[in-house]
Structure 1
Amino acid sequence: MFVRIVKMGFEPGKIEEFLNNFEEVKSRIRNFEGCEFLELYRDKDNTNRFFTYSYWKDEQALENYRKSDLFKTVWADTKILFNEKPEAWSVDKLVSLE
């Protein structure tokens, strides 16, 4: 399993649209084959900045999602709302304490 973190900055007037879009698709993303966990975070200081945090079974599962019609639609609806270039990281989880 590995973790995907995506940082996105939005135009202030577009945040509500982003949140509404995310609400509509979050279950479909989470239930996409290979997605094991999905959360959305909002920066406390820069409230225009959001992060998605997701666990994927393996890199191929994420690639399958990124090539899917679902991702293409979600990304097309999301990227037009940005006010900064998004950044993404794929990382391996090494330790988790609960």
Structure 2
Amino acid sequence: MLVRIVKMSFEPSNIEEFLTNFDQVKDKIRHFEGCNFLELYRDKQQPHIFFTYSYWDSEMHLNQYRHSDLFKGVWSKTKPLFNAKPEAWSVDKVASLT
């Protein structure tokens, strides 16, 4: 399993547009083949910064999403809303406690 973390910083005036867009596509992303989990987080101290946190069956599945029409549509609406370059990490889960 691959865990993907993406940090996004938005122009404050664009936050509502981002949230509306995310709400419209979140189920499609979550149910894309190979995606098993999706969450969106918002920084408490800097409310213009958001993170997505997702689980993928493999890097191949993530790459299939990243090259899909769904991703291209999501990204084309999201990218113009940023006020800084997004950052992304693909990580392995080392420990999980519940």
Quickly name the TM-score band, shorter chain normalised.
over 0.9
CA RMSD of aligned residues (A): 0.4
Moved over 3 A (4+): none
For these two proteins, the number of residue pairs brought into alignment is 98
Partner SS state of residue 47, structure 2:
coil
> TM-score of the superposition, structure 2-length normalised?
0.99
Structural mapping, 1:1-98, within 5 Å: 1-98=1-98
Task: State the alpha-carbon separation in 2 of the partners of residues 15 and 32 from structure 1.
Answer: 24
Residue identity matched to 1:43:
D
> TM-score of the superposition, structure 1-length normalised?
0.99
Residue identity matched to 2:59:
E
Question: Percent sequence identity over matched residues?
Answer: 68
Partner SS state of residue 15, structure 1:
helix
